[in-house]
Amino acid sequence: RRLQLLNNSPLEDDKIQIIFQDIISACFSTAFEIKVAYLGPEGSFSEKAAEKHFGSSTNFISCNSIGEIIELVEGNSEYYGVLPIENSTEGLVNSTLDQLIESNLKICSEISIPINLSLIAKKNIALSSIKTIFAHSQAFAQSQSWVSANLPKALKKDVSSNSQGVLQSKRTNYSASIASIDAAKKYDMKVLKKNIQDYKNNKTRFLIAGNHDVSATKEDKTSVSIITKNKAGALSDILQKFKDQKINLTNIQSRPTKKNNWEYMFFIEFDGHKTDKNVDTALKKISRLTLNLKVLGSFPKGIK
């Protein structure tokens, strides 16, 4: 952020970020090896987010599922995991959130990247010839209007990641996949249509999770999960504690606890670090009002 603020050069801010992230990455690599797990195969948006955040001098490990990422990172203190958590048009990735809350990992950082989706096949074929489309459920949701208008009869098959969909399509005749142009290049596939996402300013936010707490930076965010008591005004009482300490809430979502029927937890994100005096005061008061309060992590806000 400081370098971008001082930037008066012809270089754009995002180029400044890329250059210095690689310098930092190279310096880290001389002292210790960072290993980063992401949702693969290679060519996925998760890999792109991992490379942008950690730089090129990093050992990246492709995983088949979010659960595999979490298990790998929990078992290795030097590992970090890159987890897709939220899309700007489709909201939270609930499966990621549920598994993160149940894990022992701590959120260490966040990064957002633009998501430009393309229709990909192993050769140039007419859209009318496509019988099956492979993609992650989020990719289908982000391009549903285009797919409905252009491929209304095609069978849609969910896969664990868009890169996995590209590999499936490569093995399947009369099929296509929805993924990035980078994935098409990686697996020697043809791009039939570019930018098929329904909203052009489409972004996905990724959380970086590890085994260590992160120190305050004065530009921080905190994520918590809260199970409220089953009584009238329980959530209102909790929100009032945030208001009393002048804490700005940036996200609040409800999720089933999956432990008792009709019991819900709240995922809440807000400005500030858990060691800040006002945040510490609010969390102590809130903990007395809840059945469970878990701090998922305090971390630097992503650079825009």
Q: Which tokens is 54 given?
A: 């950690």
Q: What pLDDT does residue 20 have? A: 87
Distance CA 262, CA 103 (A): 22
Q: What pLDDT does residue 285 have? A: 97
**pLDDT(260) > 80:** no
- Residue 104: other Cβ atoms inside 10 A: 9
The separation between the first and the last C-alpha atoms of the chain, rounded to the nearest angstrom, is: 9
Q: What pLDDT does residue 256 have? A: 87
Distance CA 179, CA 195 (A): 10
Instruction: Answer whether 66's CB lies under 8 Å from 205's CB.
Output: no
Q: What pLDDT does residue 2 have? A: 86
Q: What pLDDT does residue 261 have? A: 79
Q: What pLDDT does residue 34 have? A: 84
Lowest-pLDDT choice from 14-23, 145-154, 189-198: 14-23
Distance CA 152, CA 98 (A): 32
pTM of the model: 0.89
Q: What pLDDT does residue 81 have? A: 98
**Which residue matches tokens 């008792």?**
260
**pLDDT(126) > 90:** yes
Q: Mean pLDDT, to the nearest integer, of 25-50?
A: 90
Closest CA to 161 of 263, 106, 270, 84: 84
Q: What pLDDT does residue 35 have? A: 93
pLDDT digits (tens, 9 = 90+) for 67-106: 999 999 999 988 999 999 999 988 899 999 999 999 999 9
Note if the bond before 10 is cis, omega within 30 degrees.
no
111 or 32: which leads in pLDDT: 111
